[in-house]
Amino acid sequence: MTKKPVWLFDEMKCSGVDFSCVEEVAAYDSMHQKLRDYARTSEAIIRRLSLDSASTVIDLGCGTGAFALHAAHKCRTIYAVDVSEAMLEYCKKQAEHKGISNIMYCHSGLLTYEHSGEPADAAVCFAVLHHLPDFWKQVALKRCFGMLKPGGRLMLFDIVFPSGTDSLEEVIDAWINSVGTMANDRLAQEGIIHVRNEFSTYDWIMEGLIKRSGFDISSAEYSNGVQATYVCTKR
Ligand SMILES: C[S@@+](CC[C@H](N)C(=O)[O-])C[C@H]1O[C@@H](n2cnc3c(N)ncnc32)[C@H](O)[C@@H]1O
C-alpha cells in the first residue's frame, strides 16, 4: 500500500495501554524488566538473527529501546520505529545518555513506515503486532517483508493463543497469574486488558499470516502458555 486509503487502520491510536502517555512510558522499563532481562533477550535476538557490526536492523515498535539501545552497540544502524512520540523521545534520551549515535528515530508505524535506506538485514517486532487486527497484521508483515534484503530475517515475539488445548481459559489465567507473580499487579492488570481489548490471535493464524507474507518460519517456539517467538526468513 503506497497511497493511504481513507479506510487505513489508525495505528496511531494504540489499543490497550496508552503508550503516548509520558508517565506510562517512564514506568515501562521498571515493570517489564521484571519479566525479561533486556540485555540477555537482545543478545539472543542478535545471535538468532546473525547480526554483526555490518548489519542494519529495523526495530518495529521499538518502545523505550529495550532492543535498539543494546543492538546499537553491535550493529551498524538501527532504525527505531514507533507510533508513540513519547516512546521515541524516551529511547532517544537514553541513547544520548549512553553516547549512542547510530539509531535513526522514525515516528511511524507498521502500516505507515516507509524504509528509505538500503533494504535491511533484519527486522525485530517484539510485543507489537498484537496492536493490529488480523487483516492488518498481514498488511504489516508484507510491508516488513518489503523492507528486507533477500534472505533477510525477522524476529517476531508476541502473545499468541494456543489452538491445541481444551482449557484456553486456564492457560490465559495461568499466564496472567505468572505475570503478577514475576512483576506486579499492575502488569497483571495489563495482561487482562491485553486479552480483553487487544488483538492477539491463534498460533495457526499467526503461522499462516507469516507464511503468506512470503517468509519461511525458521523456528517457532511457544512458551509460558501464550508466548510465541518466530524467527522468519525472507524467501
Ligand atoms: C508492548 S510495547 C513493546 C516495546 C518494545 N518492542 C519492547 O520490546 O519493549 C508496544 C510498542 O509498540 C508500539 N506500537 C503500537 N502499535 C504500533 C504500530 N502499529 N506500529 C509501530 N509501533 C506500534 C507502542 O507505541 C509501544 O511502544
CA angle 109, 204, 162 (to 5 degrees): 100
Residue 207 CA to residue 158 CA, distance in Å, equals: 12
Q: Using one digit for the tens of pLDDT, what is the confidence trace for 183-231?
A: 999 999 999 999 999 999 999 999 999 999 999 999 999 999 999 999 9
Ligand 1 site-directed mutation target among 15, 41, 83, most atoms within 8 Å of CB: 83
Structural domain boundaries in the chain: 22-234
From the CB of 66, is ligand 1 less than 6 Å away? yes
Q: Say what the pLDDT of residue 117 is.
A: 86
At residue 3 the predicted structure's pLDDT band, cuts being 50, 70 and 90, is confident
From the CB of 158, is ligand 1 less than 6 Å away? no
From the CB of 109, is ligand 1 less than 6 Å away? yes
Q: Say what the pLDDT of residue 144 is.
A: 98
Tell me how crowded residue 166 is: count the other CB atoms within 10 A of its CB: 7
From the CB of 91, is ligand 1 less than 6 Å away? no
Cell numbers of 162, please?
A: 494456543
28 CA closest ligand 1 atom index: 9
Determine the distance separating the centroid of ligand 1 and the alpha carbon of 166, expressed in angstroms.
Answer: 31
87 CA closest ligand 1 atom index: 27
Judged against a pLDDT cut of 90, whether residue 4 lies above it is answered with no
- Quick one: DSSP state of residue 159? E
Residue from 94, 77, 81, 79 nearest 29 by CA = 94
**At which residue does the C-alpha cell 503508550 appear?**
19
Determine the distance separating the centroid of ligand 1 and the alpha carbon of 168, expressed in angstroms.
Answer: 26
At residue 14 the predicted structure's pLDDT band, cuts being 50, 70 and 90, is confident
Q: Say what the pLDDT of residue 2 is.
A: 59
Judged against a pLDDT cut of 80, whether residue 161 lies above it is answered with yes
Judged against a pLDDT cut of 80, whether residue 1 lies above it is answered with no
Yes or no: domain 22-234 corresponds to CATH 3.40.50.150: yes
Cell numbers of 142, please?
A: 508484507
Q: Using one digit for the tens of pLDDT, what is the confidence trace for 53-111?
A: 999 999 999 999 999 999 999 999 999 999 999 999 999 999 999 999 999 999 999 99
From the CB of 110, is ligand 1 less than 6 Å away? yes
Which residue has the least CA distance to atom 4 on ligand 1?
Answer: 63
On the CB side of 36, CA atoms within 13 Å amount to 16
Q: Which amino acid is at 168?
A: L
**At which residue does the C-alpha cell 487486527 appear?**
133
Tell me how crowded residue 212 is: count the other CB atoms within 10 A of its CB: 11
Judged against a pLDDT cut of 90, whether residue 168 lies above it is answered with yes
% of the chain beyond a pLDDT of 90: 96
Mean predicted confidence (pLDDT) in 109-130? 97
From the CB of 61, is ligand 1 less than 6 Å away? yes
Could you please report the per-residue DSSP string of 93-131? Answer: HHHHHHT---EEEEE--TTT----SSPEEEEEEES-GGG
